[in-house]
Every structure is written in structure tokens, then in C-alpha cells.
Structure 1
């Protein structure tokens, strides 16, 4: 499984040197990766449907509890099949959709990286490893959403998506660390054994809050939903892949994976039902006012994600079964509708449904795919969407919350009515009616564009005809993994009960809304008046406040003057050290240990003080440099007096070299900046004296502390044996310098990359275009 997860990352790295070959006929090789992975995961279907699961453990950073632990069970298998199966369709589709694009190879590099990250999320059995891949999905999706980086709206949408999901990731990390510390393990499959310990812990509500924030931001739940419609600025293959079947469902996967561990309490159920219920109804209504095909699909996607959150919140057997089926239902019809939308935009140059119609006459296979997907979305009998809608009503009718039963049913019915109409608007309306004259000459695109959505649409129909095998081999194992025990799930084409009546009534009502509702720019403009109280405006206000604070902070602490940086660093160090001295209590000295200074020691100190006075008072830079060298040589003599000739020689060498360098570049340096005002001089003098006093007090405290010989004995016993050095001081210096050099190497490498980037900024003519 490790190779399956990292294969996308490996391919994305290989695209860097060999990417230009992909712009030729060899681009078909890209589709081999997701197709091979899909077949690999399909091979596990028989065993997992029989109740098995597969684990893989590879040590990575065991000291931190981070290992390459992967688990393939019913839940992770469903998501892995969606990621690779729909990924295969997207790879085929994008080859033609982006043909001739200057950054063709870069796009597929990002896409492979994203696929690898998503597989890592759904297969990880270590919560810290899961978080690593979770953040990698945010980063790779940032590149994909902002792929058209010459467009300011694309860049803004990518930044918004990264900011919202990144904020949720921060809280998710905090929740996962708390969870692992409480349970004593970071392995997800072991957390279930610590369920009672976690549920009874005082931090349980806080953990849930952090986990919910991570899931809600990634899966676009209200009030974090606004980043998803903005992300529609991405190329259509990105929208079809990220926003129908993969990235936005990462939050749903997270809730489903931790449901057996954290679920089953009021703290879990009520927030998920409330947030999911409001999101699905709110977004369903909003989708009816959109005139852009991608806008309709974006809000209907948000509504579908709200349904899944709502079902996981219900937590009953029926609700979990409904969620496991609806994940697959939504992925099939929504990916199809996105791909169909991309073809319409690619051929007509518009996504405005008020300007589209009659396209079945020129795009017949595309219209078949769109209509089949719309019917599945609406829940027409003999489609897989019908079974998904049936199970949703089954869950709301058989809930444990009897007092809320009628409210839950009403919300579900109203949501589905809106989704029926929205599906017809996106999948049927562009193909019916009269064909505008400006579209009479358009033609079918390459087969690699219209065959993938047609296959996905037909699968939604075939699964509706034969729900039993699909349920038995895929959805049953998924429901069991989420529910935590056997669900006895068995899917039928339909049931002759009240659920069927509600499904048919919803379909009829949604169809009526579709014919009555006439989206227009004026209606859209009217509803956009509510943007003044929209979450997006509130978040943007907070973002602007943060920017203003950051600007003030930067101007205050990073004003570009070296003396200002030194001043702030020294002040911070003084406050920190002074606080530590204060809480450590009084300093006790044994005066009998203090020896009387000799006359030559006093003489050296007098010379040092005199040189120091010259440094701070002279107007000449050369005089200041010479006086500084005198201070350095005085310190050398002090080292000699106290039997430290190695330190004295080091100080002598450094001081001499520094003085020579100062004198050599003296003529290149600017003249002294005359800071007028005694206040500044007094301020600097007080800070300098305070620093000296604090360092002196630290030295006295160290001197007054009882001597511990434990460390000295360790180095004395092991310096030669372990480090092959007879001089203990040298061994210690070499150890510390080795660590210091390692970090210096990292810093220099980063600096080298920065310099290389600046050099490469001289763009070629093709890159400027």
C-alpha cells in the first residue's frame, strides 16, 4: 500500500525532468497510473466484502509515534476506488481538455500529487500520518485551483481555499494530538479500544470541536462553505475531481472514520445534525438562483456534503447505510455533470444557462450523459440515485430523535426538492429547447472527453438496476466500517412503503420547481444583496483586520534598521532572563571563596573600561574600531589569567581578523548616523547597563549553585570511548559545532534555492507568454 500511496508523488517528481514529453502523443501514459491503482484496489473487493481488512506497518519516526501505518477496510476501499476510478476518467478527459496548454505537464504533476495525498488520507492508520497527507491535499489543491495563475480571480480563490482549509487543519492537528495523548496511541485502529476513556475525558468536547472545525472547513459546511463556489475558477477537470468525489469528501471521510471512536453522544450527534441540516437546506435553495452551470453544481455539492454530515450525525444504522450509498451516488452523478459542463464550456464558450439550449442536436452523447446524471441526481426510479434518496428518507423516518422527527423529514424533503430542480437545471436544461444560431456549427469534442462522463452516467443507471451486487461488494463493507458493527445491509430496487411515496412526491415537486423557477441575472443580483451579512464578508473583514495588524506589527518591529532589531532582541532577552532570575529566588554567595584581584587584573579592567568609554563617545569610526580591538585583547588576557589559553587564542584570532576586516572596508561604510537627542542615548545606556547587570547576576547564580559532577563524569568516561577525543572540552565543542553546522547547511541550501529562483526570474519569451 505504501507504493500505491507514494506512486503519484513519484510520478509528479518524474514529470519535472520529463514533462515536456507529455505534450506529445505520449500523454496517454499518464492514464496508466490511476487505472493501475484502480485495478489494484479492485482486487481487494472480494476479501473486504467478506469481512477482512488489511494492515501495513513500516517504521518511520517511532520516537514521535509517527509510522507508515496503512489500513484497507470497507470505508477506505470505497474512497480509494473513487479516487482512482474517477481519477482515471479525469486523466483521460484532461488530456484533451488542456491540449496545447503551455503548462500541460505541470497540471498533471499537481494532479498526481493530489491523488497521492488523497490516497494517503483515506488509507492512513496513524492520525499524525493522516494529518501530513491532509495538509498535502490542501497544498496540492491550492496549486490546482489557482492553476490559471495569470487570472487574479483564480489566485484569490486559491488563497481563500488554502486559508480556510489551512485554518481547519491547524485545529485538526490540535485535536488529533489531544486524542492521541489521551488514548496513549496514535494508531486509529487502536483508538477504538480506548473509546470509553476518550468519551469520559474532560477534554472530549474540546477534541470534538477541533475535529469538527477540520472536517467542516474541508467539506465546505456552513459557515465555511464560501470557498467552494470560488474554487470553480479552476479548470473543469479540477472541479470534477476535487469538488465532486475527492477533496471535499475528505472531511466526510474524517467524520466517518472517527464515528466509531467518538460518535454516539449528544456532543457528536447534535452539532453534526444542526450544521449538516442547515448546510444542505441553505445550499439547496441557493443553487436555484444560480445561472452559471458551475455555480449550480458548486452549491448542489455543498448541499450533498451537508446531507452526508447530517446522516453521520444521526448515527443510526439506517443513516450510516444511507451515507455509505450516497457517497457513491453523489460521486458518480456529480463528476458526470462537472465533465459535461466542461464540454459545454469548451465548445460554446459559455456556462450561462439562460443562453444555452438545444445542445442535444449537436452534442448528442454529451446530452445523454448529462440527462442520465440529472435523473440519478433527482432520484428517478431504476437509477442508483433513487436508492440513495430512498435510504435518506429511511434514515429520517427511523431516527432515535422522535421529537425532531418531523423537522428532520421536512428538511430532507425540502433539500431534495431543491436538488432535483438543480440537477435538471445543470444536466437537462442546456440540451432541451431551441438551439441558438451561434451554436449550430459546434461539434463533438474528441472521444476522450465525452466517453468518461458517459461511462460514469451509465454506471449510475446500471447500479440502479443491480443494487444488490453493488451493495454486497462495496457499500455493505463501508457501512460496517463506519457503524462499527454488522449493519445487515441489503439493497433493493425499491420498497412499497411510505419511503417510496416520499421519493415520488419529491421527484414530482422538484420537477415542478424546475419548470416554475426561472433563474435570471436580476434574481441572482437580488439574492446577492444578502452578501453584506454573508460569512464570506465576515471572514474577509477578519482577514483585513489581520492584515492591518500585521502591517502595524511589521512597521513596529521590522522597520529595516539593524540597531532597532538589536534593541528589541536585547530587550526581550533582558525581560526573559530577569523574569527567570526573579522567580528563582535570592542569590546566596560564599564571600570566603572570593579572592582578592591582583594588580595586573585591576590594570586590565581599567584599560578595558577606558576603551569602552572611547567606543561610546568617539565621533571617529576608526578610533571606535581600534578601541573595540583593545577591549577584545583585554578579554584575551583575562582568559590567560584564568588558565584558558585555548579560549584566549580563539578570541585573539577572531578579534584580530575582525579589526583587519573593519579597517579594510572602512571607506565603504557610511558615516555615523547622528541620532540627536539625549533621550535616545540615555535609553541605550540604560538597556546596555541592564544587560550587563543581568549577565553578571546570572554568573553569580551559576557560581553559587552546588557543583554537579554527573555531566563532567559522563564526558570524562565517554569522551575517548565514544568520540575518540582525549580533550573533553574539544569533544563538547565538536559535538555542538556539528549540530550547528548541520543547521547552517540547511539555511545555506534554502538561501541557494532563493538565489537560484531570482536568477531564473529572467524568463524566456515563451514563459512570458
Structure 2
């Protein structure tokens, strides 16, 4: 499984140096990467269908509990097949859609990176590993959403999506780490057995709240939903892949995966029902007012995600079965409709529903795919959407509380809106009279219209033979979510009952709404009048307030002068250390136990004070530098007197090198120093004296602290045993502080890259101005 995750990552990195080759005929090789991965996971279907889970463990940073732990069960297999299967369709589709694009290679590098990140999320069986891939999905989607980087709207949409999902990731990490610490394990499958321990812990509400923020931001639940319609600025292959079948379902996957560990409580279930229920109704209604095809699909996607959250909140076996089926139902028809929208936009150069009609006459295969997807979205009998809708109604009708009728009513209202929205996206552009400006529209490359047609036909095939797909795919998915056997078996006919009546009534009502609803800019403008109280407007105002505060803070604190930074850092350190000393009480000094001063120590200190006096009074830069070096050498002598030759040699080397560098740098500066105002000199002197006094007090206090050697003893005893090194200092730096040293190296490398980039930067004359 690790190999499948690394395949996309490695290929993505190779597209950077070899991108020009990929732009040629060799681009045909790109779609076969998800094909191979899809076949690999398809091969595991019989194993998983029998209830066997595949586990892989590879040690990474075992001391921190971070390992490559992967687990393939019914839930992760379904998502892996969606990621690679729909990914295959998108890769073939995108290869033609972006043919000739100047950033063709870059697009597929981002897409491969995203595919690997999503596979890592759904396969990870370690909390920290999951989070790493979770954040990688946000980063890669940022590049995909902002792919058209010459467009300000695309850049803003990418930043909004990254800000919302990135912030959610921060809260998610906190929640996951808290849960792992309480359960004393970071292995996700081991958390399931610790459900009672976590649920009864005082921090359980905080954990659930943090996890919910992470999941809701990623899966566009109210009030974090607004980033998803904005993300429609991305190329259509991105929308079809990320925003219908994969990325936006990452939050749903997380909630489903953690249900056995955190679910089955009133807090968990009620919150999910409320948030999911409101989101699905709110977005379904909003989709009816959109005039842009992508806008319709964006809001209907948010509504579908709300349905999945709502079902997970209900939490019964029937609701979990419905969720496991609807994940696949929605992915098939929504990916199809997105790709159809891309074809329309590619050929007709518009997505405006007020202008589109009659395209069936010139795009018949595309119309067939769109029609099948729209009918599956509506839940027409014999389509897979019909099975999904029936299961939703069964889950709400059999809810054990008195709310069953109200939950069912919400589901009916939502599905009516989704029926109309599906017809708006899949039927409206193809029916009616063909306008003259679209008479020249023709079918695109076969690789563009065959993938959506295949997905649409799968919706029909799965609807006719639901037992097969249920037994091999959805059954174990439901079991993985529930954490127990769900006794699931899908059938195309359950008899004439209340559920069937509701399904037919929903289909009829949705059709009526579609026929009566005429999207127009006037209706859209009317609903946009409420934007002032929308979550997007409120959060944007908060963000603008933070930006203004940051500007004031930056201008006040970060003024660009190194001396100012030094002053503020030293003042902060003084206040912190003085506060700590004050908490420790008065310092008791036993002068009788202090070592008496020798004449050479007094002489060295006198030389040091003399050099210091010269530094603060001289006007010569060179004299100041030489006097500074005298102070350093005096400290070297003190180290020697107190039997620390290694420190003395280090001080001597650094001081000599620093002096040489100072002289080389100051060679180009004026030889004399222009002193600043007298008040500033007095201020700096007070700060410097205060720092020296505090350090002296700390040294005196340390003299009377108990001398514990536990840490040094540990390093001395284990340096060779654990790290096979005889030099304790080197072992501490390389092994015991390996992570710290690694990050220091990363920081230096990034700084070096930045300096190198600035050196190599060649601006145009217009950019310089």
C-alpha cells in the first residue's frame, strides 16, 4: 500500500524536470498510473468482501509513535477505488481537456500529488500519518484550485480554500493528538477498543469539537461551505475529481472512520444531525437559484455532503448502510455531471443556464451520459440513485426518537431540491431549441466524452444489480463504519411501501420544481442581497480585521531595524526572567562559601571592563571591533582558569572568525561612528545593565540549587549503548536531538534557497518600477 501512495508522489516529482517530454505523445502514459493502482485495489475486493483486513506496518519515527501504518478494510477500499477509478476517468478526460496548455505538465504533477495524498488519508492507520496526508491534500488542492494563476479570482479562491481547510487541519491535529494521548495509542484501529475510555474522559467534548471543525471545513459543512463554490474557478477536471468524489469527502471519511472510536454519544450524533441537516436543506435550496452550471453542481455537492453528515449523525445501522451506498451513488453521478459541464464549457464556451439549450442535437453521447447521471441523481427506479434514496428514507423513518417524521421531511425537501438541481445540470442544457450560435458545436475528443458515459452507465448497472455491488463493496464499508456486522443486502425492489411512495413523490415534486423554476440573474441577485449576513461575509470581515491588526502590529513591532529587534527581544527576556526570579523569592548568598578572588581574575575583569568602556565611547569602528575581540579573549581566559579548555577553544575560534568577518564587512563603511541621540544611548545602557544584573542574579541562584546529574548521567550511560557513539556531545546533537537538528537544517536550507533565488532574480524593467 505504501508503494501505491509513493507512486503518485514520485511521478509528480519527476514531472518537474521531465515535463517537456510529457507534453508530447508520452502524455498517454499518465492515465495508466491510476489505472494500475485501480487494478491493484480491485484485486483486493474478494479478500475484503470476506471480512479480512489488510494491514501494513513500516517504522518511520517509532520513538514519537509516527509510523507508516496502513489498513485496508471496507471503508478505505471503497475510497481507494473511488480515488483511483474516478481518477482514471479524470486523467483521460483532463489529458484532452488541457491539451496544448502551457502548464500541462504542472497540472498533472499537482493531480498526481493530490491522488497520492488522498490515498494516504484513506489508508493511514496512524493518527499522525493521516494528518500529514490530510494537510498534503490541502496544499495540492491549493495549487489545483489556483491553477489559472493569471486570474485574480482563481488566486483568491485558492487562498480561501487553503485558509479554511488549513485552519481546520490545525484543530484536527489537536483533537487527534488529545484522543491518542487519552487512549495511549496513535493507531486508529486500536482507538476503537478505547471508545468508552475516550467518551468518559472530561476532554471528550473538546476532542469532538476539534475533530468536527477539521471535518466540517474539509467537507464544506455550514458555516464553512462557502469555499467550495469559490473553488469552481478551477479547471473542470479539478472540480470533477476534487469536489465531487475525493477531497470534499475526506471530511466524511474522517467522521466515518472515527465513528467507532468517538461516535455513539448524544454529543456526536446530535451535532452531526443538526449541522448535516441544516447544510443539506440550505444548499439544496441555494442550488435552484444558480445560473452557472458549476454553481448548481457546487451547491448540490454541498447538499449531498450534508446528507452524508446527517446520516452519520443518525448513526443507526440503516443510516450507516445508506451513507455507505450514497458515497458511491453521489461520486458516480456528480463526477459525470461535472465532466459533462466541462465538455459544454469547452465546446460552447459558456456555462450560463440562461443561454444553453438544445445541445442534444450536436452532443448526443454527452446528453446520454448527462441524462443517466441526472436520473440517478433524481432517484429514478433502476438507477443506483434510487437505491440510495430509498435507504435514506428508511434510515429517517426508522429513527428511534419522535423526530422521525421531521427528519424524513428534511430528507424529502432536500431530495426535491437535488432532483431539480440534477435536471438543471443534466437535462436543461440539452433540451429545447438549439440557438444559432451553438450550431457549430461538435463532439470533443473521445477521451473526453467516453469517461463520463462509462460512469453514467455504471450508475445504471449498479442500480439494476445492486446486490452485487452491495455484497462486494458497500457491505464491508458499512461494517467498518459501524464497527460491527450490519447484515446488509441491497435489493432493487422492497415492495410497495412508504419508502417507495416517498421516493416517487420526491421524483414527481422535484420534476415539478424543475419545470416551474426558471433560473435568472434577477433571482440570483435577489438571493445575493442576503450576503451581508452570510458566513462568507462574516468570516471575511473577521479576516480583514485580523489583517488590519496585523498591519498595525507589524508597523509597530517589526520596523525593519535590527537594533530594534534586539532591543525588544532583550526586554521581553528581561521581563520574563525577572518575573521568574520574583516568583522564586529572595536570593540567599553565603559569602563564606564563595571562592576568593585571585589577582589574575581581577586583572582579567579589569581588562574586560576597560575594553567595554572603549567600545561605548570610541568613534572608530575598527577600535570598537578590536575592543569587542578583547572582551571575547578575556572570556576565553576565564574559561581556561576554570578548567573548561573545550569552551575556551570554541570561544577563541568563534571570536577570531567573527572579528575577521566584522573587519571585512566594515571595510566598506565610513571609519567613524555617528552616535545617535543621547536619550537612546541612555535607554540602551539601562537595558544592557538590567540584562547583566538579571543574568548575575540567575548565576547566584544556580549556585545554591541542588546539583542533579540525572540528565547528564543518562546521556553518558546511553550514548554508546543506544547511539553507538563515544563522543557524548556529538551523540546528543545527532541522535538525541536529531529532530531538532533536522529542522534546523531545513530552516537553513530554505534560507539558502531564498538567498539563491534573490541572487538569480532577474526583474523586467516594468517590474523594477
What TM-score bracket applies, with the shorter chain setting the length? over 0.9
Residue deviations 1:37-87 (CA, integer Å, cap 9, x gap): 111111111222222211111111111111111111111111111111111
Distance 1:391 1:38 in 2: 28
Residue deviations 1:104-145 (CA, integer Å, cap 9, x gap): 111111111111111111111111111111111111111111
Residue equivalent to 1:4: 4
Structure 2: state its 5+ residue gaps: 765-769
Residue deviations 1:390-439 (CA, integer Å, cap 9, x gap): 1111111100122x222211111111111111000000000000001011
After superposing the two structures, state which structure 1 stretch, 258-267 or 421-430, moved more.
Answer: 258-267
Residue equivalent to 1:494: 493
After superposing the two structures, state which structure 1 stretch, 647-656 or 558-567, moved more.
Answer: 647-656
Q: Structure 1 residues 708 and 499, CA, compared in 2 at 3 Å: closer, same or farther? A: closer
Q: Map 1:56-205 to 2 at 5 A.
A: 56-205=56-205
Q: CA deviation at 1:13?
A: 1.7
Residue equivalent to 2:272: 272
Q: CA deviation at 1:487?
A: 1.5
Q: CA deviation at 1:700?
A: 1.5
SS of corresponding position for 2:31: helix
Q: Structure 1 residues 761 and 401, CA, compared in 2 at 3 Å: closer, same or farther? A: farther
Residue deviations 1:682-714 (CA, integer Å, cap 9, x gap): 321221111111111122222233445667777
Distance 2:475 2:647 in 1: 74
Residue deviations 1:319-362 (CA, integer Å, cap 9, x gap): 11111111111001000000000000000100001100000000
Distance 2:397 2:736 in 1: 68
CA contact (8 A) 1:587 1:704 kept: no
Distance 2:489 2:362 in 1: 42
Residue equivalent to 1:676: 677
Distance 2:690 2:639 in 1: 24
Q: Structure 1 residues 39 and 638, CA, compared in 2 at 3 Å: closer, same or farther? A: closer
CA contact (8 A) 1:175 1:207 kept: yes
SS of corresponding position for 2:365: helix
Residue equivalent to 1:435: 434
Q: Structure 1 residues 677 and 506, CA, compared in 2 at 3 Å: closer, same or farther? A: same
Q: CA deviation at 1:608?
A: 3.0
Distance 1:551 1:300 in 2: 39
SS of corresponding position for 2:71: strand
Residue equivalent to 2:354: 354
CA contact (8 A) 1:379 1:385 kept: yes
Structure 1: state its 5+ residue gaps: 765-769
Residue deviations 1:240-286 (CA, integer Å, cap 9, x gap): 00011100001111111111221111101111000000000000000
Residue equivalent to 1:767: none
CA contact (8 A) 2:269 2:315 kept: yes
SS of corresponding position for 2:355: coil
CA contact (8 A) 1:358 1:434 kept: yes
Distance 2:328 2:717 in 1: 66
Residue equivalent to 2:473: 474
Distance 1:249 1:712 in 2: 50
Q: Structure 1 residues 603 and 463, CA, compared in 2 at 3 Å: closer, same or farther? A: closer
Q: Structure 1 residues 544 and 673, CA, compared in 2 at 3 Å: closer, same or farther? A: farther
Q: Map 1:733-748 to 2 at 5 A.
A: 745-748=745-748
SS of corresponding position for 2:15: helix
Q: Map 1:384-403 to 2 at 5 A.
A: 384-402=384-402
Q: Structure 1 residues 358 and 744, CA, compared in 2 at 3 Å: closer, same or farther? A: closer
Distance 2:227 2:64 in 1: 34
Distance 2:566 2:222 in 1: 46
Q: Structure 1 residues 522 and 742, CA, compared in 2 at 3 Å: closer, same or farther? A: closer
Does 2:329 correspond to 1:335? no
Residue equivalent to 1:420: 419
Distance 2:366 2:713 in 1: 80
CA contact (8 A) 2:619 2:674 kept: no
SS of corresponding position for 1:17: coil
SS of corresponding position for 1:69: strand
Distance 2:56 2:716 in 1: 45
Q: Map 1:614-633 to 2 at 5 A.
A: 614-633=614-633
CA contact (8 A) 1:324 1:479 kept: yes
Q: Map 1:276-315 to 2 at 5 A.
A: 276-315=276-315
Distance 2:740 2:48 in 1: 51
Residue equivalent to 1:408: 407
CA contact (8 A) 2:127 2:186 kept: yes
Q: TM-score, normalised by structure 1?
A: 0.94
Q: Map 1:421-570 to 2 at 5 A.
A: 421-495=420-494, 496-570=496-570
Distance 1:485 1:640 in 2: 71
Q: Structure 1 residues 239 and 698, CA, compared in 2 at 3 Å: closer, same or farther? A: same
Q: CA deviation at 1:758?
A: 3.6
Q: TM-score, normalised by structure 2?
A: 0.94
Q: CA deviation at 1:750?
A: 2.0
Distance 1:18 1:47 in 2: 38
Distance 1:520 1:673 in 2: 71
Q: CA deviation at 1:715?
A: 7.9
Q: Structure 1 residues 755 and 526, CA, compared in 2 at 3 Å: closer, same or farther? A: same
Residue equivalent to 2:326: 326
Aligned length: 760
Q: CA deviation at 1:291?
A: 0.3
Does 2:42 correspond to 1:42? yes
Q: Map 1:549-628 to 2 at 5 A.
A: 549-628=549-628
Distance 1:74 1:713 in 2: 50
Cα RMSD of the aligned pairs, angstroms, is 2.5
Q: Structure 1 residues 756 and 723, CA, compared in 2 at 3 Å: closer, same or farther? A: same
Q: Structure 1 residues 648 and 172, CA, compared in 2 at 3 Å: closer, same or farther? A: closer
After superposing the two structures, state which structure 1 stretch, 226-235 or 2-11, moved more.
Answer: 2-11
Q: CA deviation at 1:629?
A: 3.8
Q: Structure 1 residues 663 and 512, CA, compared in 2 at 3 Å: closer, same or farther? A: closer
CA contact (8 A) 1:75 1:481 kept: yes
SS of corresponding position for 2:16: helix
Q: Structure 1 residues 573 and 52, CA, compared in 2 at 3 Å: closer, same or farther? A: same
Distance 2:687 2:23 in 1: 64
Q: Structure 1 residues 650 and 108, CA, compared in 2 at 3 Å: closer, same or farther? A: closer
Distance 1:382 1:456 in 2: 15
Distance 1:641 1:487 in 2: 78
Q: Structure 1 residues 745 and 263, CA, compared in 2 at 3 Å: closer, same or farther? A: closer
Distance 1:739 1:520 in 2: 58
After superposing the two structures, state which structure 1 stretch, 701-710 or 294-303, moved more.
Answer: 701-710
Residue equivalent to 1:692: 692
CA contact (8 A) 1:240 1:339 kept: yes
Residue deviations 1:551-584 (CA, integer Å, cap 9, x gap): 2222222211111111112112222322332333
Does 2:14 correspond to 1:14? yes
CA contact (8 A) 1:494 1:500 kept: no
Distance 2:412 2:125 in 1: 37
Q: CA deviation at 1:214?
A: 0.7
Distance 2:499 2:692 in 1: 82
SS of corresponding position for 1:57: strand
Q: CA deviation at 1:605?
A: 3.0
